[in-house]
Structure 1
């Protein structure tokens, strides 16, 4: 996979230059497949009585028991139902994990590790945004989350997703300097794209979805679980057709406190079964495997 163009041609961020998808080299994913599909399962923890968090209903004064308890249900109940669903369908996941979960929900990340899922770093907690920090504080946050995950998993995580998709101007640089091989924050493409980092470095950006993401779809746009499942199926079929011309990445972002709810889990099961039944035609994988294969094609 080649770098798309000189990042200095970009007007603001300087991370990558413009590149039209039809103009890029065509390559295959493993097995000659052209569509790579991954599930990004967000396992998150939140602070009681302070900090950020998605809201089922507009929050009142702290402690906001209504919304805190709704989110906590996801770790106590919803995540386990999703684990069972993935087992039922034989699907892998990229688990986007807050490092504080090892302390707050012992056994939760371990259950997905036992499945062989990839553990992706997702900051310390989703009660905070790293982009609001100065560089030294952000570097310390990345170092802390990385060390906790590496100690628990026996390996350093390869990928990072910032809580709330939050980045400072220095985030890609800090991640590359901390040894990360890819990041997931940007939804600007359907293929992995190299980002330039300072001192001549680079880090790979693997596409992360904001359309096939249950928070924007269900919490923000008020879509039903059935409609969200239909979006997954329609996207899958369209991208499978489009992938005849170019290799593509389709991510699906899930949060247990949202799609783990029974009335949403049932249509989600139908949508994921639809994909699982087509596993002969696509590469169902993890974001780390996508990054590793894409990086192997660098030129």
Structure 2
């Protein structure tokens, strides 16, 4: 008989109450996210801005350099925007970057942004690992980020948000408070594996710069139209709490062609009423308080 596949197989889920609201009683929760991605030694992205991948096995230094822009240049521009707009975000960071750029990671943490573990490298995808290798990857990534930042990460999002059938359980066992490896709901909820609990914080790809601009070739400014359309609908038709995760990458909208759109998104969000802008970990802690 075929086995039923489930992101949280064997777990008990607890959904937020029907009257759930974000901190301050706000109905709209907006979580700006920034991803800083790296690849293991002798590995490189399988895609790039040219759109025509090289022959299998050929080192693609064009794609590698394109991604390295994020940690070398883009993140500093993004941090300046966030400081100017006076908001703190959740930042997805690969563990390999902790070894290569510890000073940059320390700047991120010192600014109060949440460090979210993003596997050791984008080539280390939990869906491909056995249990021992996956647990080792979680520990290696966690320790490297903690050493570089001085703060132990409590949130995890896998590359491609592609977990294995055991990822959520292993993260709970390793002390993580939440993961973002699912797109199966609008709001976060709690998941219990025996005596261990972790929160699932569903995300979405509707406002993510990589598929938006790289895969589909949309202009950066079209992201503002997506935001306005989302806002118009939820204000008129959605009676309960909602969330949105506008997500950018240091190597995509961290460039001069996209950074202005990112800052404009923040400006529009800050001008709204009935809206809370925060870090995902803070949203999870608020959810737990509401369920007590």
TM-score by length of 2: 0.89
Tell me whether 1:144 sits opposite 2:140 in the alignment.
Answer: yes
8 Å CA contact retained: 1:121, 1:149: yes
Tell me whether 1:158 sits opposite 2:151 in the alignment.
Answer: no
8 Å CA contact retained: 2:102, 2:149: no
8 Å CA contact retained: 2:183, 2:204: yes
8 Å CA contact retained: 1:233, 1:275: no
Cα distance, 1:75 vs. partner?
1.4
Q: Match for residue 4 of structure 1?
A: none
Tell me whether 1:233 sits opposite 2:231 in the alignment.
Answer: no
**Which shifted more, 158-167 or 215-224?**
215-224
Distance (whole Å) between structure 1 residues aligned to residue 242 and residue 258 of structure 2: 27
8 Å CA contact retained: 1:182, 1:203: yes
- Corresponding residue to 1:55 among 48, 51, 75: 48
The alignment partner of 1:261 has SS state of coil
Cα distance, 1:81 vs. partner?
1.1
Distance (whole Å) between structure 1 residues aligned to residue 252 and residue 10 of structure 2: 33
Superposed counterparts of 1:1-299, under 5 Å: 12-13=5-6, 14=9, 25-47=18-40, 49-57=42-50, 58-61=52-55, 62-197=58-193, 199=194, 201-242=196-237, 245-278=239-272, 280-298=273-291
Gaps of 5+ in 1: 1-9
C-alpha RMSD over aligned residues: 2.4
**Judging changes above 3 Å, is the alpha-carbon distance between structure 1 residues 73 and 17 closer, same or farther for their aligned structure 2 residues?**
same
8 Å CA contact retained: 2:45, 2:63: no
**Judging changes above 3 Å, is the alpha-carbon distance between structure 1 residues 83 and 136 closer, same or farther for their aligned structure 2 residues?**
same
TM-score by length of 1: 0.87
The alignment partner of 1:262 has SS state of coil
Gaps of 5+ in 2: none
Distance (whole Å) between structure 2 residues aligned to residue 258 and residue 235 of structure 1: 22
Distance (whole Å) between structure 2 residues aligned to residue 17 and residue 238 of structure 1: 32
8 Å CA contact retained: 1:51, 1:128: no
8 Å CA contact retained: 1:52, 1:128: no
**Judging changes above 3 Å, is the alpha-carbon distance between structure 1 residues 150 and 19 closer, same or farther for their aligned structure 2 residues?**
closer
User: How many residues are treated as equivalent by the alignment?
Assistant: 285
Distance (whole Å) between structure 1 residues aligned to residue 270 and residue 141 of structure 2: 33
Distance (whole Å) between structure 1 residues aligned to residue 54 and residue 158 of structure 2: 26
